[in-house]
Amino acid sequence: MEAKIKVDGLVQIFGNKPQSALRRLRKGKNKDEILKETGQTVGVSDVSFDVYDGEIFVIMGLSGSGKSSVIRCLNLLNKPTAGDIYIDGENIVKYDKKQIRKMRQNKIAMVFQHFGLLTHKTVLENVEYGLGVRGVDPEERRKIALENIETVGLSGWEEMYPNELSGGMQQRVGLARALANDPDILLMDEPFSALDPLIRREMQMELLGLQSKLQKTIIFITHDINEAFKLGDRVAVMKDAKIVQIGTPEEIIESPSNEYIEDFVKDIDRTKIIQAKNIMTKSTALVSLKDGPSVAVKEMRANGIASVFVVDKGMKLQGIVTIEDAIAAIKEKKKLEDILRDDYFTTSKEEYVQELIEDASETKYPIAVTDEDNKLLGVIVRSSILSGLI
């Protein structure tokens, strides 16, 4: 897969003599040594990564790790000292002022930690603002703004001012404003860190819901590992201006690259991070609705199982049959549809394991993972949850 964003050897040095610091960095000196010798601060040290179209790529680390410096380079708010940043194959580091302005207006939008709203403007006016800068017709920009206000769940609040809104609502306005320009890429610099924990969780779920519909490419910055693992398709962990490890949340939990990462993940409640899609298996033991009880019995015996899910020709889940019911049906000359059971649990692939524990403890069948059309995507065996193997 070709990268939407490709960052190669990115270096950001703050100070009036960055080249002096860069030479020392190239010779292998660390940021503390460079600061002592030159007074220059290394914000980003030889960072490289790829981000793919439609991905939520999270960069996380403690304060001073360099994560916010990286994201500010991606829209050239920070001019890199060295390295290249490719977006759709173009090296934006080489852009002139006109190209940078066009990129910010059309391709990249940023959502800030402290909302960045214009306090003297209404919700509608804030969301319209970027469109006005671009010269969009007033009637058209109002239409676009209202659509995005509805998208983030703020319909009815258009004429309110920021100081009349809660923190979570203000951040929704910031998100609507960013979405109004229909950017390919969203940069989100710790957007939820100023919110209280309950509102923060709501905004995390709101972002995941929006992403499932909009499929933007998102770079998300956070210092919270639980937030990083909840949101990120992949996560880059930074320390001392460098990337220590990149991987999916599951890869980082299962295979931390060093002691620093081990310390980060040791207290993680994995049931809050791992989703159904991470532990489900593709079931090879299935029976079609057109099959009879004899086929069901044969399938169960061949796979050493006591129940089997039944699907139609479109893979839509119809029910489950047990070995006892199927054997009785053969004797009583019943059809498969006569013995279908519906006393099993289903879940979406995005559900977190924490939410499945109670179901797993109550059911005697596997949990079926289905999509919005009730198509069977996979199954989760109870023991994979209850035995703690995850």
Render 11-62 in DSSP notation, one character per residue: EEEESS-HHHHHHHHHTT--HHHHHHHHS-EEEEEEEEEEEETT-EEEEE-S
Q: Which parts of the chain sit beneath pLDDT 50?
A: 389-390
The per-residue pLDDT for range 67-123, each reduced to its tens digit, is: 999 999 999 999 999 999 999 999 999 999 999 999 998 899 988 776 678 889 999
Q: Which residues pair with 110 in a beta bridge?
A: 187
Position 389 scores a pLDDT of: 45
Residue 360 phi/psi, 5-degree rounding, is -65, -35
| Of the candidates 194, 79, 149, 56, the residue with the CA atom closest to the CA atom of residue 141 | 149
User: Which three-class secondary structure state does DSSP give residue 160?
Assistant: coil
- 51, 4 in Cβ contact below 8 A? yes
What is the per-residue pLDDT for 192? 86
Predicted local distance difference test score (pLDDT) of residue 390: 46
Distance CA 156, CA 173 (A): 13
Q: Alpha-carbon distance 89 to 381, whole Å?
A: 44
Number of helices and strands in the chain (H, E): 16, 16
Give the model's pLDDT for residue 115. 65
pLDDT confidence of residue 386? 64
202 burial via Cβ count (<10 Å: 0-12, 13-18, 19+): middle
User: How high is the pLDDT of residue 127?
Assistant: 92
Asked if 154 and 176 count as a contact pair (C-beta separation under 8 A), the reply is yes
Is 358:382 a contact under the CB 8 Å cutoff? no
CA neighbor of 265 nearest in space, from 301, 224, 295: 224
Domains of the chain: 53-74+96-270 (3.40.50.300), 278-386 (3.10.580.10)
